[in-house]
Structure 1
């Protein structure tokens, strides 16, 4: 990779790591549904300036509903209900584990031995983290948060079907789908008056965080990431995502003073190691069809 593109890959990882902190701050004033809706209202602005890519509406809705709506709503819910920022960033990156697992079913891509080791290591780390649930956040919040990497992984596989389209245009139009259902959810769960009051009394800090989440973390960062994946192999680009949980954990320890016990910290590190093994290994083998 060119030095400038390596710098861009690191920049995207830093942006995504800091986005967890920004989300936590915004959630002090907004409900998970409303905050996520506002994030995509901002991120959908480029739709006014770019044409819809050559992707069918059902596929566009399916990708956005999983890769964006499902992933980020589950993240926001977990953060709003006490799951630490650093731990959340690690859990979300476990999407690599689920992506490989779902690829077995969807595309008959059998993991290599090295990937199998990575899956086993990451699963062990997740089980260790599960052993710490119930002390500072509920099992329910953790279960909802686990929906984030799962829907993320499904979105990754659906994204394969949107080929030969401009990445910026695609991600801009993907952002157009979540706002309406999320706003409807906010009205149902929070009430119209509470939602309106949150918008009227928004602080400058929450506003800045929300705009940053929509404009920088979603529109710009995803576009840069998509461009890198277009110009280089996934094996060259995707490992940079391993920086995200380290940035998220470091930033949360500075901003919120978060600390992790030995079992949870060990589990987090083991998950990241397992993901590293999976991402740095060779591609999966495709099982031939039996005629």
Structure 2
């Protein structure tokens, strides 16, 4: 990867990591499902009027929006409200690589390489240590929400592959069109229509800053750059860079919210990300079509 592209990629990873702190900022007063709905509304409008709809069936766009909006980012945001620190939320979301590997092995009967098996074993042990060594930055409910988000990431990958799209950025923008309404309806079904009025009354400057950051630098700019890099370089070059996202999330969580890990958790995070790195590093013969469909559109 040439130097300018490498710097740009690292910059996007920093944005995606900092995004978890911005999520926490935006859901202090407003329910995470509604804040996430606002994020995707801003990301879609007005961008969708300037981007041609990808040549795929509507069901794939709807499925993507539902899973990406409610399943991944609705649950990931909610996990922070439910007690996860923003940095830990980012680290645990990387568990999607473990879940995807398990689906491939146990459902699709794929063979896992020795490297992937070692990576999975390392990550699982580190995950157990990370959770058991909590200093209050992990809760059962928060862990449940982030694991749902990680599992939905695998489902999202299946939807993208099934659509056979070759227009990743357009697919992402048009798919997000179907995220806001399900998020709002889900929140209302749980808490009643008053939840929307509470969000309106509680909305403040911090919420606006957080939602705008998530919509534009994180979603539109980040995905635009990331998809350009996926076209230019193989997954073996780009995929390891996504492991910088949890690192930046942990750093920003420390400086913004004084989120501190125990020594055992620091070691566990390092081992966990090393294990995930062994899983996501592809074989050299992976095609660029696969590169686009399996890319971690992290954030």
Instruction: Find the counterpart in structure 2 of residue 172 from structure 1.
Output: 173
More moved, 128-137 vs 60-69: 128-137
| Residues 1:259 and 2:251 aligned together | no
Instruction: Find the counterpart in structure 2 of residue 242 from structure 1.
Output: 243
- How much has 1:196 moved relative to structure 2? 2.1
Asked whether the 8 Å contact 2:82–2:141 carries over to 1, the reply is no
Asked whether the 8 Å contact 2:115–2:279 carries over to 1, the reply is yes
- How much has 1:247 moved relative to structure 2? 0.2
1:192-224 Cα offsets, whole Å, 9 max, x none, are 334223224422221011011012211221222
| CA 1:134–1:74: 2 relative to 1, 3 Å | farther
Instruction: Find the counterpart in structure 1 of residue 105 from structure 2.
Output: 104
Unaligned runs of 5+ in 1: 286-291
1:56-115 Cα offsets, whole Å, 9 max, x none, are 112222233323431111111110011011111100122222222223356543221111
* Partner Cα separation in structure 2 for residue 70 and residue 106 of structure 1: 21
| CA 1:180–1:166: 2 relative to 1, 3 Å | same
- How much has 1:24 moved relative to structure 2? 0.3
Instruction: Find the counterpart in structure 2 of residue 4 from structure 1.
Output: 4
Unaligned runs of 5+ in 2: 287-299
Asked whether the 8 Å contact 2:85–2:259 carries over to 1, the reply is yes
* Partner Cα separation in structure 2 for residue 133 and residue 253 of structure 1: 16
Instruction: Find the counterpart in structure 2 of residue 26 from structure 1.
Output: 26
| CA 1:243–1:100: 2 relative to 1, 3 Å | same
More moved, 61-70 vs 270-279: 61-70
Report the TM-score, using the length of structure 2 for normalisation: 0.88
* Partner Cα separation in structure 1 for residue 282 and residue 164 of structure 2: 24
Asked whether the 8 Å contact 2:90–2:246 carries over to 1, the reply is yes
Report the TM-score, using the length of structure 1 for normalisation: 0.90
SS in 2 for 1:99: helix
Asked whether the 8 Å contact 1:33–1:73 carries over to 2, the reply is yes
**5 Å matches for 1:102-251?**
102-105=103-106, 107-132=108-133, 135-251=136-252
1:117-141 Cα offsets, whole Å, 9 max, x none, are 1111111111112324694543122
Root mean square deviation of aligned Cα: 2.1
**5 Å matches for 1:263-274?**
263-274=264-275
Asked whether the 8 Å contact 2:43–2:215 carries over to 1, the reply is yes
- Report how many residues are paired: 285
| CA 1:168–1:284: 2 relative to 1, 3 Å | closer
SS in 1 for 2:163: coil
